[in-house]
Chains A and B, each alone.
Chain A
């Protein structure tokens, strides 16, 4: 992916801490933006490769957050392991959702939403484990590794950039693999793939698990960064909604689109929207999302890709 957008994003990613490293507020925004970016990436992966739109990613986010927090606080698991465990927990909970794979588009999206609600209510009710709606604090923050304090703004920023990059690389690797090719065909010709030996259901299941894993990982990261957890926050619909808007805005058929989109949308929401309308600022996001679907359903990066593809075709002809 030695393309211009990728290099640009990399440049920005490096420039930000250099320019704003001392500014806690800005770095905090970037950190949160990157969390949304991770989830947006995971959502887009499921939508793009798996062909499934989900309205309930908050479920994976919350489960990842709680699993990691509980394991590190109550069972003393070191934070890095707890993070991975959180991701695995989210992946496990997606196993429960596997039956939903049989459903067509809108039914799947809403089934996942139903699951998200269920998990949220379960987390609220299981007060003995999760502390219920009162919330859950006292769990360890990100550790210091090799002298780098990862719990600092810059430290967590750096870690998140690396994680997002790794997840993007995984996405790319899957997309380019034979599995990715088969998934591409499955979108509109699933029976044709089955007839030649593709276990379509299994491939879709893997995409669901992968998407859940990544989302859970970022949910866990977020928990340790802000050091506070309660069901309404961890399972908040925002974690389902913001990534969708981010991915559509940035271009959900691309890999970097959701990432760039997430940061932009998050910054827009926090800096512009909340200033204009402290209450009901989501309305601007809704307008943005509706506008994108109507005018540019392939998002920013999608439009850019189209242009370069046309250019390439022209050159080849």
Chain B
């Protein structure tokens, strides 16, 4: 489904990602882990198209997307949420989903919009102004709802659980699992919480200073001494 080969990203003199390579299949839930500043968001930005890599290839469903602009990747089925929710301004929640649907999935389907609203528990907020009238949790759900409206095959979730306390987190994780099964989505999720990764993900990839230092099941990865060091090292700093 998604494959990166030797992706390197540089910003001026700073190397944000170096020779990152991994692959994931259609049904997987992949956890992307690493201390702050490791390059996780940059990796997402590169995959979704906000950033162009210096070298390397990005293949989505066996198709090279490195040259495609953002919107084209979205139309191919690559959905993405932002860490700080970015709703579309001046539009209601429903309109947010409709626009995503029309431009991302190809045509309007009001029934499906209603369905997504229900699944993401946003039905009662449907007519509210997305940018000004929603609380943080609702905004996060909207982020995912928007991405869902584009009929994605792969969902990139950037720290969707940040800022939630543990009960809300668990509910969200259950919701993600529900989405994964219901819509047959592949998911890549950036997360700090080890427990979440272990329970939700079938695989985990660890980044540190822009480089991959581990790739395997969560259990394997969190036993890896290099990974442990990157976490505790970061905690000291």
Contact = CB atoms under 8 A, between A and B. Distances in A.
Interface in A180-220: 181-182, 184-185, 187-189, 191-200
Interface string B135-154: 00000000000110110000
B234 interface: no
A197 B131 contact: no
Contacts of B69: 194, 199
A192 B103 contact: no
A203 to B, nearest CB: 9
Interface of A: 178, 181-182, 184-185, 187-189, 191-200
B87 A197 contact: no
B86 A197 contact: no
B95 interface: yes
A189 B84 CA distance: 13
Interface of B: 48, 50, 69-72, 74-75, 79-80, 82, 86-91, 95-96, 98-100, 102-105, 108, 131, 146-147, 149-150
Given A178-B98, A182-B99, A191-B50, A197 B104 contact: yes
B74 A196 contact: yes
Nearest to A199: B71
A196 B91 contact: no
A14 B100 CA distance: 43
Contact of B102 (A178, A184, A191): A178
B131 A196 contact: no
Nearest to B102: A178
Given A185-B90, A192-B87, A197-B150, 20 more contacts: A178-B98, A181-B95, A181-B98, A181-B99, A182-B99, A185-B88, A185-B96, A189-B89, A192-B86, A193-B88, A195-B74, A195-B82, A195-B147, A196-B74, A196-B99, A197-B75, A197-B103, A198-B104, A199-B69, A200-B71
Contact of B89 (A187, A195, A196, A200): A187
B104 A196 contact: yes
A240 to B, nearest CB: 28
Contact of B100 (A187, A189, A191, A196): A196
